[in-house]
Structure 1
Amino acid sequence: MKYDVIVIGAGSMGMAAGFYLSKNGKKTLLLDAHDPPHSNGSHHGETRIIRYAYGEGEEYVPFVLRAKKLWEDLERISKKELFLQTGVLGVGRDTSGFIQNTISSAGKYSLPLEVLTAEDVHRRWPGITIPDNFIGCFEPTSGVLKCEEIIKVYEELAIESGAVIHRNSSVKDISIHEKKVTVTTEDETITAGSLIIAAGAGSGKLVSMLDLDLPLTPVRKTFAWFEAEETQYNQEKFPAFAFDTFNGTYYGFPSIQQAGLKIGRHDGGEKVNPEKSMMPFGAAAEDEGDLLQFFHQYMPDIHQLKYGKTCMYTLTPDEKFIIDTHPEYSNVAIAAGFSGHGFKFSSAVGEALSNLITSEKNEVDISPFSLKRFQR
């Protein structure tokens, strides 16, 4: 079969791109080294936070609002619940850059946000205790995305529109000739007019096949679920949260369908080789100990681990995304370096990648994510 576009990486961004391309009539092949959704990348673990008053910077807000619209469209098309409006609570000192960006983003874009004292936070959610010099920023319209369910929905809809997925298919070589792309795997050689590389931690090796060196650093991350009193920490009463603390940055989720309170640490992490297996959760004492330290200080009722998992972040030096075309090949688009905060945007990233390949205008300016910022 002849394809218009090959997408390497059928995770968060790649599967979304495959959906938009196939929906728009492009004959699309998706290749993945594993069987998505899987636990070898950054899209597993059941849930991801989506927030609109963005603590990482105001430049993200139009992009995440576009993603919000596309998530709503996806729920309507699939007739499935993919978003839970739990609200999201941001916590930190009022001098924290994360908190200041959250407040300024909300003001600039007229987003609903409640700024709360430490006493207000404890009164509303008795399971949280924070220092008097911390404040809370509660965004009631934000919440939780069902990440693995979303990838399955994108896959089903892409296949319905004619997309083909080759699983457990590792790419061995990529070449460009006469405006055609040739991708070689262990089993086949495929040619198409265009290519999208959205392979998470594996993207660095793939773009190097096209003489492009990107500053991508894969790191090992851990997250875990803990026993929680359901009457206090369930999704109807407790928000998703992000804490900027003296000891690090943490994020978490209420107990959804009695799964337990889920938490992870956003900063830190050990550099890893994405082609090798990571140590499982618990192999290092700090995997559990770091999370228990957080609970001891801010949510003292939580102390019993249920189970934990590992995943990878792929960091850029400025922790901002890369969404762009190859500087030499306009028929090659790249999405990489989502630095642990990309999933919420993946609907809009998929749309943007499709538009880059088809030369359609993007609804939102993606120039802040140009790879040119790393070129000298």
Structure 2
Amino acid sequence: MLYDIIILGSGSMGMSAGYQLAKQGQKVLMVDSYHPPHIHGSHHGETRIIRHAYGEGEAYVPFALRSRELWKDLEQELGKDIFFETGVLNCGPESSPFIQNVLKSGERYDLHVEELSSDLMKKRWSGLTIPADYIGAYEKNAGYLRTYPILAGYAELAASYGAVLAGGQRVEEVQIKEGSIEVKTKNEIHRGKKLIVTAGAWGGDVLSQLGLQLPITVTRKTFAWLHADAPFQEDKFPCFSFDTDMGTYYGFPDISGTGLKIGRHDTGLAIHPDQKGPDFHDGDAEELLGFLSRFMGGGSFQLREGKTCMYSMTPDEDFIIDYHPDYPEVMFALGFSGHGFKFASAVGEVLSEMAMEKELTVDMGPFRLNRFI
């Protein structure tokens, strides 16, 4: 069969694109090395923060707002909740560029961001031990997304519109042939008119077969769930992001008794995705507990479970969403640098528009590859 579009990598971005394309009548094949949702991609870990007043820069805000609209649409189509508005507390020194970007983008786009002093934060959320020179930027309409119901929902809907999901098929070779693109796995050869690469940490390897070297480094990251006492339960505490002199940390309240979830966003060990680096160890736990003892020292925590994950980092930590410079029938969305999942709904829409040669709903100028040239 000759598919209209083959998607390599059927995690958050690829599954969203497959759903969008199949819904519009395209013949879609979604290929993945595993069977999504799974623990090997960037969607594992059950929850992801969604925020719209964006510390990484105002260029993201229209993208984030479009994503929110599409998440709400997906909730309606699935008939289940996937977006939970706990609020998100961004915190750091007043001089922090991240915090200032949150405040500026919140004001520009009227996002109901509340600026809070250290004393006000400690008064509102018991358990916090914030330094006096730190401020908060609290976005009440932000919160978290449930990753596995989203992936499973996209898969179910895409299949209902005729998309084919080929899980458990590791891609061995990709070739551009006259009139088609050929994707070879261990047991099959698939052919399509166009190709979308959303293979996460493996995306650079795929595109290198087509002569394109991307400036992406895969890094090992850590996160953990901890038993926490009452002040950090979901009905009393928001999701959070802290820009500190100890590093950048993010986390979630105790959701349904699963424990407070926390991870470190910056630093990390460079790895190849097939060799994920060391398992979560005592040093990783000490790093996370060190942050908690300083900034949430009014609570008590006990490690419940620690895990590792992978970030695909670009030099500027911004996404790359573009066409292959030599093969316009090849598109890709990669390098999400640890903050991409919240955009998956809109990334899928953009990729579907690119593949179908439509006008883009959101400008992708800030995310083009040529910024590195």
Q: TM-score, normalised by structure 1?
A: 0.98
2:350 paired residue among 341, 345, 352:
352
Aligned to 1:45: 45
What is the Cα deviation at residue 177 of structure 1?
2.0
CA gap of 1:104–1:179, structure 2 versus 1, over 3 A, is farther
Q: In structure 1, what is the equivalent of residue 317 of structure 2?
A: 319
Q: Which residue is 2:197 aligned to?
A: 197
Amino acid across the alignment from 1:254: P
2:248 counterpart letter in structure 1: T
C-alpha deviation, 1:51, in angstroms = 0.5
How far residue 280 of structure 1 moved from its aligned partner, in angstroms, is 1.7
- 1:99/1:137 contact within 8 Å kept: yes
- Which residue of 2 is the match for residue 259 of structure 1? 258
C-alpha distance in 1, partners of 2:310/2:38? 12
Q: CA deviation at 1:27?
A: 0.7
Whole-Å separation in 2 of the counterparts to 1:353 and 1:194: 11
Unaligned residue ranges in structure 2 (runs of 5+): none
Partner of 1:178: 178
Identity among equivalent positions (%) equals 50
Aligned to 1:295: 292
In the other structure, the counterpart of 1:238 is 237
2:330 corresponding residue in structure 1: 332
Structure 2 counterpart SS, 1:304: strand
Q: Distance in 2 between matches of 1:166 and 1:330?
A: 24
Deviation (angstroms), 1:246: 0.6
The alignment status of 1:80 with 2:80, answered yes or no, reads: yes
- Looking at structure 2, the residues matched to 132 and 277 of structure 1 have their Cα atoms a distance apart, in angstroms, of 39
Q: Residues of 2 paired with 1:122 and 1:151: CA distance?
A: 37
**Superposed, which structure 2 residues align to 1:106-117 within 5 Å?**
106-117=106-117
Post-superposition offset of 1:38: 1.0
Alignment-mate amino acid for residue 147 of structure 2: C
Question: Per-residue deviation at 1:302?
Answer: 3.1
Partner of 2:132: 132
Equivalent residue number for residue 280 of structure 2: 281
Matched residue type, 2:40? N
Q: Is contact 1:179–1:331 with CA below 8 Å preserved after alignment?
A: no
Cα distance between partner residues in 1 of 2:69 and 2:32: 27
Cα pair 1:118 1:136 within 8 Å, conserved = yes
Unaligned runs of 5+ in 1: none
Give the aligned partner of residue 69 of structure 2: 69
Quote the offset at 1:237 in angstroms: 1.3
Residue 127 of structure 1: how far off its partner (Å): 1.3
Q: TM-score, normalised by structure 2?
A: 0.98
Q: CA deviation at 1:141?
A: 0.3
**Cα pair 2:220 2:276 within 8 Å, conserved:** no
| CA deviations over 1:86-107 (Å, ceiling 9, x no partner) | 0000000110000000001011
Equivalents in 1 of 2:18, 2:99: separation in Å?
A: 35
State the match for 2:223 in structure 1. 223
Q: Distance in 1 between matches of 2:57 and 2:42?
A: 22
Mapped to 1, the partners of 2:128 and 2:149 lie a distance apart of 30
Structure-1 separation of matches of 2:261 and 2:357 = 41
- Distance (Å, rounded) in 1 between the aligned partners of 2:61 and 2:275: 35
What is the count of residue pairs matched by the alignment?
372
Instruction: Quote the offset at 1:178 in angstroms.
Output: 2.2
Aligned partner of 1:9 in structure 2 is: 9
Partners of 1:291 and 1:91 lie apart in 2 by 16
Post-superposition offset of 1:148: 1.6
Counterpart of 2:224 in 1: which secondary structure? Answer: strand
